[in-house]
Amino acid sequence: MTDTFLAGRTALITGSTSGIGLAIAEALGRHGAKVGINGLGTPEQIDAAIQQCKDAGAPDVRYFDANLVDPKAIDAMLAEAAQWSPIDVLVNSAGIQRTAPIEGQRDNWDAVIAINLSAAFHCMSGLLPDMRERGFGRVINIASVHGLVASVEKAPYVASKFGIVGLSKVAALEYASAGNRDSGGVTVNCICPGWVETPLIESQIQARADQHGGDRDAGIADLLSEKQPSRRMTLPEEIAELALWLCRREAHNLNGAAIPVDGGWTSQ
C-alpha cells in the first residue's frame, strides 16, 4: 500500500507538463497530495499530464496557465491557487537552457534568468509567508550541477542556477525557525541534477549522436564521459523520489542544502 503521508497537503509544481517536473507531480500525487501543475505544452500534452497525475493517485489535479516570464501572471496564478487550496509544497522546476559563447548569449540572457531564477523568486516570496503561518512548508528548487560548477557556453544557465542555490540558502535562513518538529517546519532546498534524460537536453544528445553516425547510445556515452563518472543518466523518477523524501516531516532539519545527483561529477 502506498504511504499517503501527503494526504491533506497541496503542491504546486512549475514546469510540470513534462520531464522532472511531471515526475515529481506524479510522485507527490501518488502519496496523497493535491497537485497543481504549470508548464508549456499543447492542450493534448497538458491534458495528458493532468491524467498522468490522476492515474498516479492524486485526489485532485488543476492546471494553472501562467507565463512565468511575467511577474503579474505569477501573482495571478498564486492567487488562483490560494483560492483552490493553501500551497504546502512548492517545486520550482521550470527551466530553459540556451548554449552559445558569452558573446552569443545577449538575446538569451533575459529569458533564461526570468524562467530559471526570477520566476522561482516570485513564487517563493508569494508562498513562503503562508507556509510560515501554518508551520509547514516545503520549497524544492530544481537547480542543476551547474549551480555548483560551470561549463562553457552556458553563461545565462549557469548564472541562473548559481543564483537559485544562493536564493534558496537565504530563504532557508529566513524561515528556518518557522514551525517545529511536530509540524514539520519550513525548509528550502535545491536538487542539483547532472545529466537527466529529459527533453531539455535532447538537442545535446542528438548533436553527439550525429557525430557517431546517428547512434543515440554512443552519443549519450560520449556526452557523459566528459563530466559524469558513473556514465549513467539519472531518470526523472529518481529525482522525484528525492523530492518526495524532502517533503517528509523527518526532513525538517535538512534545510538550505544543494544536493547533487550527478554520478560523481562535482566530486572531481
Q: What tens-digit pLDDT sequence spans the chain (268 residues)?
A: 579 999 999 999 999 999 999 999 999 999 999 999 999 999 999 999 999 999 999 999 999 999 999 999 999 999 999 999 999 999 999 999 999 999 999 999 999 999 999 999 999 999 999 999 999 999 999 999 999 999 999 999 999 999 999 999 999 999 999 999 999 999 999 999 999 988 767 888 899 999 999 998 888 888 888 899 998 899 999 999 999 999 999 999 999 999 999 999 999 9
What cell does 132 get? 510560515
What cell does 116 get? 530559471
Max intra-chain CA distance, the chain: 57
**Cα separation, 90 vs 141, whole angstroms:** 8
Cα pseudo-dihedral 68, 73, 79, 82, rounded to 10 = -20
The predicted-structure confidence for 2-57, as pLDDT tens digits, reads as follows 799 999 999 999 999 999 999 999 999 999 999 999 999 999 999 999 999 999 99
Catalytic residue among 136, 157, 175, 265: 157
Q: Give, as one character, the DSSP assignment of residue 234.
A: B
Residue 250 exposed, middle or buried by CB count within 10 Å (0-12, 13-18, 19+): exposed
Question: Among 186, 222, 177, 200, which Cα is nearest to 112's?
Answer: 200
**Cα separation, 81 vs 47, whole angstroms:** 18
* Contact in structure between 96 and 18 (CB atoms under 8 Å): no
**Cα separation, 244 vs 89, whole angstroms:** 10
Which amino acid appears at position 143 of this protein?
A: A
pLDDT of residue 223: 87
Q: Which residues partner with 37 through β-bridges?
A: 13, 63
Q: Does domain 10-194+234-254 have CATH number 3.40.50.2300?
A: no
Tell me whether residue 157 is one of the annotated catalytic residues: yes
pLDDT of residue 1: 57
Residue ranges, CATH 3.40.50.720, the chain: 10-194+234-254
